[in-house]
A and B are shown apart, each in its own frame.
Chain A
Amino acid sequence: MMFFGRKTTFAHGIHPPESKDDTSGERIRQFEFAPVLVVPLSQHIGKPALAIVREDQEVLRGQCIAEADGFISVSMHAPVSGTVRRLGLTPSITGRMTQGIFIEPFPGSTQEIMGGTPIDSASASPDEIIRAIQAAGIVGLGGAGFPTHAKLRIPDDKSVDTLVINGAECEPYLTADHRVMVEHAADVMAGIPYLMRATGAPRAIVAVEANKPDAADALREAIPDGAAITVEVLPVKYPQGAEKMLITALLGREIPSGGLPLDVHALCVNVATTAEIGRLLPQGAGIQERVITVGGPAVKRKGNYRIQIGTPIRFVLETVGVEDDITRVFLGGPMMGQAVSSLDIPVTKGTTGIIAFTERETGHVGNTTVYPCIRCGHCVEACPIFLNPSTLGLLAINDQHQQMADEFHLMDCFECGCCTFVCPSHIPLVQHFRVAKRAVRKAQAEARASEVKA
């Protein structure tokens, strides 16, 4: 509902070209199996999972192949029925090598998915649901990769009055969540009761941006009778999908600096994650695939594909075909996605999109000269958390990292990229801030270490 005086949106932000038309109408298609799949043991924030298979062992699709190591960790499941060829290092999007399980599919297997103990959203206890979500290997599918079950456990001194299901998908090019909402609205509605029960939230809001009216319609139709679930359509603006922005837009509450949505009695879960919970928990199964937008001007057969976790990016791109003038590939949307350093990186649970650009897009309309800051203030007008990127940028050039953090709230920056997008001087502000944040964290860690010694 829109009331007088409060618009359902947040302040500042930008309107990049949406570039979603190529894939938003494409039905989700099942992707083929790669000759070898690599399941990294760390696809989430927290401790890597512990492998429970050995070389040459045969695994069934959906079988648990690695178990959670501690609370902030999740299980991994075989994306394919096949043979474990080896356990070894695989490149990852962070640039580091990580441990992974290499699986070679059986040719001609039916690839039936193995299930487990079903969990019922009405009768299971919150604790059972939380453990089942961890066992299903579910992490935030919006890209952050934070184990979902970990944020469902509400501390005794906190409470949740609103569960926010994030279907904003504000990143250009990405339409995976959009298609999930249109085609699997029932899964979303099946997933919400688990989350409400686990957290004790009395109501849920599914937030959808206005550029996806078909998704909002499908969701509204799928709401079960009597459920305390509403669908809210928000004006299109980037970065609406950021937790802080979305909660401010929907509820008018501001998450305190350094705090969590829980501090304002809200909890935010991505819509694809919710759909996955609704799909897997009734069968007791684990994540073995996810919907990914494969698009961008350099991709020939653009679309939304259900791709096995562990499929190498190279195999995906070879299968869909790429243009000869491909120059850059990144995972996620163009605003926050990370460029891949190696095409042998496998698809992980956090991969929302595989987008490939050609010379034309990466040339930034033919002009990449970096000019000095002319203090135009466009970045100040764009920053959704009201930082002063211009001042921060000038400090960053002089390595004044501590001052950036102490006086200009550097650590609140969540790297949405709005400032860099609008900057007419083409200053790589976000990159400066990433470097600075890392330096500040390192300094803090060193300070703590020396305190311990003393």
Chain B
Amino acid sequence: MTSLQKTLEIRSSPHIGSGNSVDTIMFHVVLALVPVSAYSIYAFGLTSLLTLLTAIAACVVTEHLLCRLNGRATTVGDWSVVITGLLLGLTLPPGIPLWMVAVGGVIAVGLGKFLFGGLGYNPFNPALVGRAVLQATFPVALTSWPVMPADRFSSLPTSTLAWPFVEPTYDAISGATPLAAWKFEQQTTATADLLFGSTTGSTGETCAILILLGGVYLASRRMMSWHIPVAILLTVAMFSGILNLADPTTYASPLFMLLSGGLMLGAVFMASDMVGSPMTRKGCVIYGVMIGVLVVLIRVWGGMPEGVMYAILLGNAAAPHIDNLVQPRVYGSAKTQEGGT
């Protein structure tokens, strides 16, 4: 029999796999972000599209070049760098000068990811590292919300194309974001506006419904631990709910806290990033509660209206330690065994 003369391969068991793969998971995260991105382009027009494209391009090119320079095979194909680019773009205000976006992308991948060893080794969410650096470097540009031109699909706010290292000029500044309005002017925004995204805010954070939809999609495919976003959102709701009950005039309602700012996007797509979060379910819940508490603390008592970014970065820093604390009890390692029945 000729077919038995051919060389058979010897591999160690198991001989079958689940078919799950890092690149498929990452690709599906990108898919889950498509509706959010599409809405941001619809809401803010051309400038949003350019911001997202610039962020993705900067991240992909940086990763590709760094891999090449280090003599490694390029890792762009695993899609994770596309997620970083997309998330970075989605957390930036519309109308931000594109050169800043590109700087953010280079920093996100170079400093946030590659410096630590690439995918899997980055302790912090790379997109948030990029954004944090931008926030520290260009505080004005990161908190200016220009009014979108009426023909937003064919023209850009002047600030978008500002030259590097030149102070961007804004045609008109729109109202503050819902969180800033609440924090500094004690004004609240209608819940429906928050849900459907007709408010000011970063390109991708305004439409809570689409973000949740993406999260449900990923959780249903077991590509995301739903424990993390649920823990974060429940904690925020409960903590701010208690505050709101104690003094409704000073503290915003839990619904407002949940739907405003970057909480949804952060909880669903950034805190749940597998690399930076704990591995055990118990760990995920602790991590989520910690982020939730930090979000409320920073929003209510901190100097800034928004605290999601720092809360998640702090959570990332704590994740390995949480993992150490909640190592599962190994089968059969209990102190004594009860015998018989």
Contact = CB atoms under 8 A, between A and B. Distances in A.
Interface of A: 14, 16-17, 161-162, 172, 244, 248, 251, 253-259, 263-265, 314, 317-318, 321-330, 332, 334-341, 343, 355, 357, 361-362, 364-365, 367, 369, 371-378, 380-381, 384-388, 390, 409, 412, 415, 417, 420-426, 428, 430-431, 434
By size class, the interface of chain B is: 35 or more
Nearest to A332: B13
Given A256-B332, A314-B4, A362 B21 contact: no
A367 to B, nearest CB: 5
A365 B16 CA distance: 9
A318 B15 contact: no
3 tightest Cβ-Cβ pairs between the two chains A and B: A372-B120, A377-B279, A417-B14
A334 B13 contact: yes
A49 to B, nearest CB: 27
Contacts of A424: 18, 20-22, 24-25
Q: Identify the interface centre among B15, B18, B117, B119: most chain A CB within 10 Å of its CB.
A: B15
Contact of B340 (A265, A373, A421, A426): A265
21 contacts: A16-B18, A161-B341, A244-B331, A264-B339, A265-B340, A317-B1, A317-B4, A327-B8, A330-B13, A334-B14, A361-B15, A364-B16, A371-B78, A373-B120, A374-B25, A375-B275, A375-B277, A377-B280, A377-B281, A390-B279, A421-B16
A425 B328 contact: no
B23 interface: yes
Contacts of A338: 13
Contacts of B8: 326-329, 339-340, 343
Contacts of B23: 367, 369, 371
B322 to A, nearest CB: 12
A19 B13 CA distance: 17
A337 B120 contact: no
B1, B13, B225, B280 — most chain A CB neighbours (10 Å): B13
Nearest to A342: B8
A172 B18 CA distance: 13
Contacts of B120: 371-375, 425
A23 to B, nearest CB: 16
B337 A386 contact: no
Nearest to A389: B279
Given A323-B3, A388-B328, A424-B24, 11 more contacts: A14-B18, A265-B339, A324-B2, A326-B3, A329-B8, A375-B277, A386-B329, A412-B331, A420-B14, A424-B21, A434-B12
B279 to A, nearest CB: 4
B15 A362 contact: yes
Interface string B119-132: 11100000000000
B11 A385 contact: no
B25 A255 contact: no
B70 to A, nearest CB: 14
Contacts of A361: 15-16
Interface in B318-341: 327-334, 337, 339-341
Contacts of B185: none
A407 to B, nearest CB: 9
Residue of A244, A334, A336, A386 with most chain B CB atoms under a 10 A cut-off: A386
Contacts of A365: 17, 19, 21
Interface string B15-54: 1111111111100000000000000000000000000000
Contacts of B21: 365, 367, 369, 371, 424, 426
B238 interface: no
B87 to A, nearest CB: 16
B330 A385 contact: yes
Given A244-B332, A372-B121, A339 B339 contact: no
Given A339-B9, A386-B328, A374 B337 contact: no
Given A327-B9, A330-B13, A376 B332 contact: no
A324 B2 CA distance: 8
Contacts of A362: 9, 11, 15
B241 interface: no
Nearest to B75: A371
Given A328-B11, A330-B13, A372-B121, A251 B331 contact: no
Given A161-B341, A264-B339, A374-B120, A364 B19 contact: yes
Given A244-B332, A323-B3, A251 B341 contact: yes
Nearest to A338: B13
B115 interface: no
Contacts of A430: 12-14
B190 to A, nearest CB: 38
Interface in B265-308: 274-275, 277-281, 284
Nearest to A245: B331
Nearest to A417: B14
Nearest to A159: B340
Nearest to A337: B13
A421 B4 contact: no
B12 A259 contact: no
A355 B24 CA distance: 29
B327 to A, nearest CB: 6
A129 B16 CA distance: 41
Contacts of A428: 12
Contacts of A257: 330-333
Contacts of B192: none
Nearest to A14: B18
Nearest to B14: A417
Nearest to B341: A161
Contacts of B166: none
A422 B279 CA distance: 14
B17 A420 contact: yes
